[in-house]
Structure 1
Amino acid sequence: MSLKSTASRYGSVAMMFHWLTALAILALMVTGQMMDGLQDDARQIAILQWHVPMGLAVLLLTLARIAWWIFADRHPAPLASGWQGLAAKAGHAALYALLLVMTLSGVALMALSGGGEVVFFGSTAPLPEFGDYLPRIPHGLGARLMIALVVLHVAAAIWHQRIKRDGAMTRILPARK
């Protein structure tokens, strides 16, 4: 399999970026939901010790992925045209933008609240009330929007594969030998 994409398939680097990001987003959604409304500071700290580095990994993966597309590779030919092609481009652009907003708002939230000191550096201060800090608003709204976009993305992939039968999934999965 080629490192770079062809006109009909994604290359192995693009596939790696896609699937690592997908797994990390799923882990972030699960850990984020686990913390929602949680009152136990010790448990929330334990979850944040996974959630924050995973979010930073997604930021790095997203920036590397964007650089890969700008400097090293080209996307395969689109499967859809017209309004469906525009919807696909808009959906992907929204996912990229939201990944950046989510990670940057998370970093800002930890920095402004002092939560990083408690979570990673052993401060004995109580865990801050994250809802008191402005970055919590875009982070919380972004989480809900991310869930919606991921559901739409998966639904579109299934629709392409099962209804249109245009091989959408085979373009982003490693080739079988």
Structure 2
Amino acid sequence: MRDTALRYGKVTRLLHWGLAALILWQLFGMVVKVTMEKSPTVSAIVGSHQPVGLVIFVLVVLRVLWALINRGNRPAHGEGLQGLAARAGHVALYALMVLIPFTALVRAWGNQRAFAPFGFEIFPAQEPPVEWAVAVAEWHGEMGWLMLVLILGHIAMVAVHDLAWRDGTLRKMAGR
């Protein structure tokens, strides 16, 4: 269950791959929204954005807490510049995983529409809307696209580690 110096534990792996799938779904939904005309299919995909985003936020909080609990047990990122780059990339990914849904929640709190994912109201409508809260959320989409770039870099570096350097990095998170 717990992380070790050799590999990530089952909980870490479940949170990693679960969040990866949900975040990729969110990014896919936004690509669909930007590139396709409105249709029932597009509306269904985009309509899942708020509830899935809320689930992501809850899972990210759990993931951060679990990472802190396992802090001294996790596999090392490496030494020197390579290790520093790996740590910086992971810090950036974690920061965006927290900030992106947080800004959406701030917007939802200050918005003139009620926030009721899964059919239960979390935040009532604000009349008038809270302007600074809505303004904060203008960064939500931009951070999402930045997250996509970091994810692509993350995947590319896993490929380099696994295919070129053959250092077993993928095995640590894949559980092989």
Normalised by the length of structure 1, the TM-score is: 0.80
Q: Would you say how many aligned residue pairs link Structure 1 and Structure 2?
A: 164
CA deviation string 1:58-106 (max 9, x = no partner): 1111110111122356443325210110111111011111111110111
Report the CA distance between 1:44 and its aligned residue. 6.8
| 2:76 maps to which of 52, 75, 78 | 78
Report the CA distance between 1:118 and its aligned residue. 8.8
Report the CA distance between 1:12 and its aligned residue. 0.5
Indicate the residue corresponding to 1:88 in structure 2.
Answer: 86
- In structure 1, stretches of 5+ residues that fail to align are 122-132
**Structure 1 stretch displaced more, 55-64 or 38-47:** 38-47
Indicate the residue corresponding to 2:144 in structure 1.
Answer: 143
CA RMSD of aligned residues (A): 2.8
Distance in 1 separating the partners of 2:88 and 2:29: 27
Distance in 1 separating the partners of 2:62 and 2:4: 19
Q: Please state whether the residue corresponding to 2:135 is helix, strand or coil.
A: coil
Indicate whether 1:165 and 2:163 are aligned. Answer: no
| 1:62 maps to which of 37, 40, 60 | 60
Report the CA distance between 1:53 and its aligned residue. 1.1
Aligned residue type for 2:31: Q
The alignment-based identity, stated in percent, is: 28
- In structure 2, stretches of 5+ residues that fail to align are 120-133
Report the CA distance between 1:4 and its aligned residue. 0.8
- Contact preservation (8 Å) 2:8, 2:74: yes
CA deviation string 1:86-143 (max 9, x = no partner): 111111011111111110111222332334469876xxxxxxxxxxx41342112101
Q: Please state whether the residue corresponding to 2:23 is helix, strand or coil.
A: helix
Q: Please state whether the residue corresponding to 1:36 is helix, strand or coil.
A: helix
